[in-house]
Amino acid sequence: MFPQIQPRDLLVIEAPKAPLRVNDVPLYRRPGGQYVLHRIVELRADGYVTRGDNRRQSEPGVTRDQIIGVLTAVIREGKSRPVEPPEQYMARVEADLLLLLRCALDGSAPAAERVEQMDFAAILRLAQRHRVAAAAAFALERTRPLPHEFDQAKKKAQRKLALFELERPAVLRGLENSGIRYMPLKGILLKEFWPRAGMREMDDNDLLVEPGRMEEIRSMMEGLGFTCERFGRSNHDVYSKAPSLEFEIHWALFLPQDDPRLAAYYRDCLERSQGEGCLRRMGDEDLYLYHICHAFKHYSHAGTGLRTVMDNYLFWRARPALDRDYLDRELEKLGLGAFESRLRSLGLSLFSGEETAEPDRGLLDYLLASGSSGVRQNLEANRLALGLTDDSPGAKGRYLLRRIRLDREALELYYPQTAKHKALYPLFLLRRVGRMALHPARVLRELRQIKAFRRGDPPKI
Give the pLDDT mean for 67-93. Answer: 90
Give the pLDDT mean for 164-175. Answer: 97
Give the pLDDT mean for 226-252. Answer: 95
pLDDT score of 298 more than 70: yes
Residue 77 in any domain: the answer is yes
Local confidence band at 3 (pLDDT 50, 70, 90 cut-offs): confident
Q: From 345, 374, 403, give the residue that closes a domain.
A: 374
Give the pLDDT mean for 289-300. Answer: 95
- Pair 337, 405 in one domain: no
Residue 75 in any domain: the answer is yes
Range among 65-74, 379-388, 442-451 with highest mean pLDDT value: 65-74
- Pair 73, 174 in one domain: no
For residue 153, the model assigns a pLDDT of 97
Give the pLDDT mean for 5-9. Answer: 88
For residue 90, the model assigns a pLDDT of 92
For residue 456, the model assigns a pLDDT of 57
pLDDT score of 344 more than 80: yes
Residue 107 in any domain: the answer is no
CATH number assigned to the domain comprising residue 45: 2.30.30.140
Cβ-contact 126, 135 below 8 angstroms: no
pLDDT score of 457 more than 60: no
- Pair 293, 383 in one domain: no
- Pair 324, 249 in one domain: yes
Q: From 81, 100, 116, give the residue that closes a domain.
A: 81
pLDDT score of 77 more than 90: no
Residue 22 in any domain: the answer is yes
CATH number assigned to the domain comprising residue 165: 3.30.460.40
- Pair 282, 337 in one domain: yes
**For the segment 371-410, what is each residue's pLDDT rounded down to a tens digit?**
998 888 887 777 777 677 777 888 888 878 877 877 776 7
Quote the number of domains for the chain: 3
**For the segment 245-259, what is each residue's pLDDT rounded down to a tens digit?**
999 999 999 998 888
pLDDT score of 413 more than 60: yes
- Pair 345, 197 in one domain: yes
- Pair 370, 381 in one domain: no
Local confidence band at 448 (pLDDT 50, 70, 90 cut-offs): confident
For residue 455, the model assigns a pLDDT of 61
- How many CB atoms are closer than 10 A to CB 92? 17
Lowest mean pLDDT across 332-341, 429-438, 447-456: 447-456
Residue 122 in any domain: the answer is no
- Pair 27, 76 in one domain: yes
pLDDT score of 103 more than 70: yes
- Pair 364, 407 in one domain: no
Residue 135 in any domain: the answer is no
Give the pLDDT mean for 257-274. Answer: 90
- Pair 355, 434 in one domain: no
- Pair 444, 429 in one domain: yes
Residue 411 in any domain: the answer is yes
- Pair 314, 333 in one domain: yes
Q: Could you give the angle at the alpha carbon of 339 between the alpha carbons of 334 and 343, nearest 5°?
A: 135
Give the pLDDT mean for 132-156. Answer: 97
Q: From 322, 355, 374, give the residue that closes a domain.
A: 374
For residue 358, the model assigns a pLDDT of 58
**For the segment 190-228, what is each residue's pLDDT rounded down to a tens digit?**
999 999 999 999 999 999 999 999 999 999 999 999 999
For residue 402, the model assigns a pLDDT of 77
Segments forming the whole domain that contains residue 43: 10-81
pLDDT score of 354 more than 70: no
Tell me the C-alpha distance between 54 and 191, whole Å: 35
For residue 394, the model assigns a pLDDT of 84
Tell me the C-alpha distance between 301 and 350, whole Å: 24
| Predicted structure pTM score | 0.85
Residue 444 in any domain: the answer is yes
For residue 359, the model assigns a pLDDT of 52
